[in-house]
A and B are shown apart, each in its own frame.
Chain A
Amino acid sequence: MKKTYKIEVDCANCARKMENTTNATEGVKSAVVNFMTQKMEVEFEEGADPKAVMPVVLENCKKVEDDCEIYF
Chain B
Amino acid sequence: MTKKQKKMLKRIIIASVLMIVLAFLPVTGILKFALYMVPYLVIGHDILRKAFLGVKNKQMFDESFLMAVATVGAIILGEYTEGVAVMLFFQIGEWFQSYAVGKSRRNISQLMDIRPDYANIEDENGNLEQVDPDEVAVGTVIVVQPGEKVPIDGIIIEGNSTLNTAALTGESLPRDVVEGDEIISGCVNMTGLLKIKTTKEFGESTVSKILDLVENASSRKSRSENFISRFAYYYTPIVCYSALALAIIPPVVLMFMGQPANWGNWIYRALTFLVISCPCALVISIPLSFFAGIGGASNAGVLVKGSNYLEALAYTKYVVFDKTGTMTQGVFEVTDVKATDNDSDKLIEIAALAESYSTHPISKSLQKAYGKEIDKNRVSDVQEIGGHGVVAVVDGVTVLAGNDKLMEKYDIGYDKAEGTGTVVYVAAGNKFAGHIMISDVMKPTAKQAISDLKKIGVKKTVMLTGDSKAVADSVAADLKIDQVYSQLLPGDKVDKVEELIGQKNEKEKLVFVGDGINDAPVLSRADIGIAMGAMGSDAAIEAADVVLMDDDPVKIAKAIRIAKKCVGIVYQNIYFAIGVKVLCLILGAVGIANMWLAIFSDVGVMVLAVLNAIRALNVKNL
Contact = CB atoms under 8 A, between A and B. Distances in A.
A35 B98 CA distance: 11
Given A10-B94, A36-B288, A63 B59 contact: yes
B415 to A, nearest CB: 66
Contacts of B284: 11-13, 35
Interface string B278-302: 1110011001100100000000000
Q: Is the interface of A mostly helix, strand, loop or mixed?
A: mixed
B105 interface: yes
Interface in A42-72: 63-66
B292 to A, nearest CB: 9
A3 interface: no
A16 B218 contact: no
A34 B62 contact: no
Contact of A37 (B218, B229, B232, B280): B218
Contacts of A10: 4, 94, 98
B155 to A, nearest CB: 32
| B interface residue count range (under 10 / 10 to 19 / 20 to 34 / 35 or more) | 20 to 34
B98 A13 contact: no
A36 B218 contact: yes
Contacts of B108: 36
Given A12-B284, A12-B287, A16-B229, A41 B219 contact: yes
Contact of B232 (A16, A32, A34): A16
B519 interface: no
B577 to A, nearest CB: 13
A36 B287 CA distance: 8
B484 to A, nearest CB: 42
Given A36-B218, A36-B291, A37-B218, A13 B59 contact: no
Contacts of B355: none
B63 interface: yes
Interface in B214-242: 215-216, 218-219, 221, 229, 232
A35 to B, nearest CB: 6
A28 B358 CA distance: 61
B50 interface: yes
A36 B283 contact: no
A12 B280 contact: yes
A13 B287 contact: no
A35 B215 CA distance: 12
Contacts of A16: 229, 232, 283
B90 to A, nearest CB: 12
A53 to B, nearest CB: 19
Chain B CB within 10 Å — which of A13, A38, A41, A63 has the most?
A13
A64 B61 CA distance: 10
B232 A11 contact: no
Interface in A23-37: 32, 34-37
Contacts of B280: 11-13
Chain B CB within 10 Å — which of A11, A13, A36, A38 has the most?
A36
B53 interface: yes
Given A36-B291, A64-B59, A13 B283 contact: yes
A13 B288 CA distance: 12
Nearest to A40: B219
22 contacts: A10-B98, A11-B280, A12-B101, A12-B280, A12-B288, A13-B279, A13-B280, A16-B232, A17-B59, A34-B218, A34-B219, A35-B287, A36-B105, A36-B108, A36-B218, A36-B287, A37-B105, A39-B219, A63-B57, A64-B57, A64-B59, A64-B62
Given A11-B97, A12-B280, A39-B215, 6 more contacts: A11-B98, A13-B279, A34-B216, A36-B105, A36-B218, A66-B50
